[in-house]
Amino acid sequence: MKFDIIQTTPLYNALSEVGKKIYLPEGIFYWAGRAKKEAELIGTLGSAYGFEKDFIEGGNSDWLPCYLKEIANYSQFSVKEIIPYTSIGGLNEIRKVWKDWIIKKSLYGEEDESLLSRLTKYITMPVITGGVTNGIFQGCVMFLNQNDYIIMPNKRWGNYDNIINKFIRAKTRTFEFFNNSEMNINGIETAINEVAKIQDKVVILLNFPNNPTGYVPKKEEASNLIKMLKESQRTLEKPIIVLIDDAYEPYIYNNTVINKSIFYDLHQLDENIIPIKLDGITKELLIYGGRIGFITLGLKPSWVENEEELEKLKDEINNKLEGFIRATISNCNSFYQVVVNKLFQENSMEQIIKSRDKVKKLLKERYESINFELKKIKDPDISIDPNSGGFFVFVNLNPDKIKATVFADHLLNKYKVGIIPVEKLDENINGIRIAYCSIDLSKIPELVKRIDLALNDF
Amino acid sequence: MKFDIIQTTPLYNALSEVGKKIYLPEGIFYWAGRAKKEAELIGTLGSAYGFEKDFIEGGNSDWLPCYLKEIANYSQFSVKEIIPYTSIGGLNEIRKVWKDWIIKKSLYGEEDESLLSRLTKYITMPVITGGVTNGIFQGCVMFLNQNDYIIMPNKRWGNYDNIINKFIRAKTRTFEFFNNSEMNINGIETAINEVAKIQDKVVILLNFPNNPTGYVPKKEEASNLIKMLKESQRTLEKPIIVLIDDAYEPYIYNNTVINKSIFYDLHQLDENIIPIKLDGITKELLIYGGRIGFITLGLKPSWVENEEELEKLKDEINNKLEGFIRATISNCNSFYQVVVNKLFQENSMEQIIKSRDKVKKLLKERYESINFELKKIKDPDISIDPNSGGFFVFVNLNPDKIKATVFADHLLNKYKVGIIPVEKLDENINGIRIAYCSIDLSKIPELVKRIDLALNDF
């Protein structure tokens, strides 16, 4: 592969050294592919195959991947489905289904014809990653060299730091997430301007609904964010990569906030604000242990002259992403890919959403209850971060009065309530994350009551 | 975690910058662990849970991970087994089982009491990786910085180069694998001496049975290799890390070669030759799509003063390996971990081996047949690499007469036989890999006949 087209795009300039260098050598796949089509005798396939009767007592004459008889009954799927490798980028059927799912999630209807058409045409075919984490890992490695800066809110998933600081040894330029209970867009803007002074690209990592706060931007906040990004990109003339961690995407419980990923609006911009969607079945389809995620890039019409170039560009990006998967995990597990495939084959998207809505309803009730109960606490030393979705709420504690870890220890010892304290004073964080996703509605008032009692002890 | 002990070992000096820097922050796991034990109300668990009846029509009163009703019947396991995350290093039961399996595979019996005792005591608890590839990726990243050298044979799995050259951007110091149909131990020795001149550590990657050749060392070759490593390490006084890709470990068809991984003998050495075992269920249990591998380090008794230090060292290494998993894939898929767990719970290791022996017998017959047939070809322009195991044989072609890719194209076009050509003239490779693992015994004579015919055309 020549990577002719990608090299002409602003995407290429933003790639890290790994991103520039990685690709999937096609030799072995080229020959195996040709053999499949042209050969009578195939000696390319590196998995053991045989006639079932030759390795299973009572087996039949099917030519199958050799398997141990003991595991045949562990699933409803055939050994042909759960034993072999899937292709590197994932089962093609699921990749297509997930692209349709992304389009569905856009909520664009016929009245948004031009939006829908750009979305359908200019996003890449999702590549399957080993869970959302692996997608975030891939996104970060593809765009960050050692010592490069990435912009993130101070309140973020702790694992970002493992990936970015410890693994890549890149640097974080964090911004205070909130300013008067609204997203601190000025803070992001300042960070962008600073980073753009020392780098030829700006990389931002955002996550709505946010972990640990449950924050989702109000419609106006989102449109201000987008406006700011648009203007910044025009002024700075450097590509802005926005990695969008959409792990909690569907769990939004409030009508005043945006009801879909910011991926969609960013993708519609003509400016070189390049959104990369990182989502997966983990929370979205409630299959945590499945380790199936997706990485999808939003491309810009201005990058290509015609359809042919667009298809080439997609192939080149796909090759790089598959090269990354090949070098790190080879491919993703078969069982859960088949699960997703059957799920979408056997049910309409509406039916899947309907099933999930039962869980969403449960979570929404808990969300309402915990916010209601927390608001009752009249204590000037605490504040609750704005939250409208996801699995968590975050309660800030006054660091001059109560250190979060001390509070957590006391709450656990005296009141038998377990929460996660986050105490990162250098980033102005001192508070507790409450995972209401795993607390029954009936227990929430008691839980908050005990937190209130614990607060009174300080 | 303080990493007090590991810093005193030669292992630490050999770690890459990532290896030195990576660790698993314990905050969230510390609090979640305490909550599990001490709390009445738990708000730490970041997965959605509910009473089944609240999200599944006709559900019961069990407190379960919320799931979509559509996927409940896809496996024989309960939703509790296939929906949640496993722990970062993998299900503890399987990690223990796999350690026992590694001990079993050593073939040490009571007569080898001291060998068995060192093995049992001084290897780490295997950490579960996302397949063998992910283990190789982890092993390479943990020990190689950009521009570091790693020693490998010229004949090797192509994906090593994706990991090492493209991802890590480290350098390969390759050696000619064979010299007069024996392993070229002098070649490895020269490479070690050269690399030791410019690095404080030597990293070697070996794979027996080898992909693409099927080579396994004869007992004498293996003991010469070990002797050479031992003497080199004594002379150079630098740690030698040996990454051992044991993907094809059990598939050995010939009594004159070693019958177990070289991990075992290297681990018994007192010298700082540090073996790292990379294996998995992929080929060993014939579950390619399972993406479950293991990484296990062999430690040296001289590194620690007592049992307590040994346990601390193991904890520190485990923390680093889990930190790596957390940053790259978070954890491995649940279904296949449960499969492995059930497999070993419900069957003795002997029974599992017996089931697999049926497949091994099939492969051995094909191995014998293909070697027998290939030997019949009397052509001075080809030679067959020594092979005793694995899934492949490799036939070298005289590069002055026949280029491998040209030959493959001709073989496919005219004779409808598909094989994988490998043409890397700069590494003195020009030949074809035949995957007899996926060719029925009855077809092997015809396949080789066609290769012979194709050869005659040149």
Tell whether the model's pLDDT for residue A338 goes beyond 90.
yes
The rounded distance, in Å, linking the Cα atoms of A337 and B288 is: 14
pLDDT at A28: 84
Over residues A208-212, the mean pLDDT reads 98
Mean pLDDT across chain A: 96
pTM of the full structure: 0.97
Question: Which chain A positions have a beta carbon within 8 Å of B412's beta carbon?
Answer: 34-35, 38-39
Give the pLDDT confidence score for residue A47 in this predicted structure.
95
Q: What value, to the nearest 5°, has the Cα angle with vertex A360 and ends A358 and A362?
A: 75
pLDDT average, residue stretch B168-185: 97
- pLDDT tens digits, A151-171: 999 999 999 999 999 999 999
What integer pLDDT is reported at residue B428 of this predicted model?
95
Q: What is the mean pLDDT of residues B3-7?
A: 97
Buried b (16+ CB within 10 A) or exposed e, B309-346: ebebbbbbbbbbbbbbbbbbbbbbbbbbbbbbbbbbee
pLDDT for residue A228: 98
CA triplet A286, B344, B289: central angle to 5 degrees? 50
Q: Which residues from chain B sit within 8 angstroms of residue A85, using beta carbons? A: 288-289
Chain A residues with CB under 8 Å of B73 CB are: 76
- Tokens describing residue A137: 């890992």
What is the rounded average pLDDT of the residues B135-152? 98
Q: Among residues of chain A, what percentage have pLDDT more than 70? A: 100
* Residue B194 distance to chain A (closest CA, Å): 27
Q: Quickly state the pLDDT bin for A435 (edges 50, 70, 90).
A: very high
Contact A328 B291 (CB under 8 A): no
Structure confidence at residue A370 (pLDDT): 98
Structure tokens at A246: 């959409």
Helix A349-376 with A92-105: angle, nearest 10 deg: 50
Does a cis peptide bond (omega within 30 degrees of 0) precede residue B212?
Answer: yes
Looking at the complex, report in whole angstroms how far the Cα of residue A240 sits from the nearest Cα belonging to chain B.
23
pLDDT at A110 > cutoff 90? no
Place B73 in a pLDDT band, splitting at 50, 70 and 90.
Answer: confident
| pLDDT (0 to 100) of residue A73 | 85
Query: Which residue in the set B66, B335, B422 is minimally distant from A286, CB to CB?
Result: B66
Any idea which residue has 């059927």 for tokens?
A: A93
Cα–Cα distance, B325 to A314 (Å, whole number): 30
- pLDDT(B72) > 90: no
Chain B: give the shortest CA distance to residue A311, in Å.
25
With pLDDT > 90 as the criterion, what percentage of chain B qualifies? 96
Determine the distance from the C-alpha atom of residue A387 to the mean position of all C-alpha atoms in its chain, rounded to a whole number: 19
Residue A57: C-alpha distances to residues A52, A67, A68 (Å): 8, 12, 11
Mutate to test the interface with B, among A101, A291, A342, A349 (most CBs of B within 10 A): A291
Q: Of A70, A338, A418, which has the smallest distance from its Cβ to B31's Cβ? A: A418
Calculate mean pLDDT across residues B148-170.
97
> What is d(CA B133, CA A85) in angstroms, rounded to the nearest whole number?
13
pLDDT of residue A29: 84
> Cα distance from B192 to chain A (closest Cα, Å)?
25
Predicted confidence at residue A268, as pLDDT, reads: 98
> Among partner residues B50, B326, B434, which is closest to A162 by beta-carbon distance?
B326
List the single range of A136-150, A392-406, B22-36, B80-94 with lowest mean pLDDT.
Answer: B22-36
Average per-residue pLDDT in chain B? 96
Q: Which of A39, A46, A286 sits opposite B416 (nearest CB)?
A: A39
Q: Tens digits of per-residue pLDDT, A46-86?
A: 999 999 999 999 999 999 999 999 998 898 899 999 999 99
Q: How confident is the model at residue A140, as a pLDDT?
A: 98
Question: Is A334–B290 a contact, with Cβ atoms under 8 angstroms apart?
Answer: yes
Alpha helices in B154-218 (DSSP H): 159-161, 185-198
Pairwise CA distance, residues B32 & B11, whole Å? 31
User: pLDDT tens for residues A346-384?
Assistant: 999 999 999 999 999 999 999 999 999 999 999 999 999
- The string of pLDDT tens digits covering residues B359-376 is 999 999 999 999 999 999
| Domains present along chain B, CATH in parentheses | 21-79 (no CATH), 92-346 (3.40.640.10), 351-456 (3.90.1150.10)
Give how far A420 is from chain B: nearest CA, Å.
6
In the β-sheet with A429-435, what is the strand arrangement from edge to edge? A382-384, A392-397, A429-435, A420-424
The residue in chain B having the minimum alpha-carbon distance to the alpha carbon of residue A324 is B167
**Percentage of chain B modeled with pLDDT above 70:** 100
Residue pLDDT, tens place only, B423-435: 999 999 999 999 9
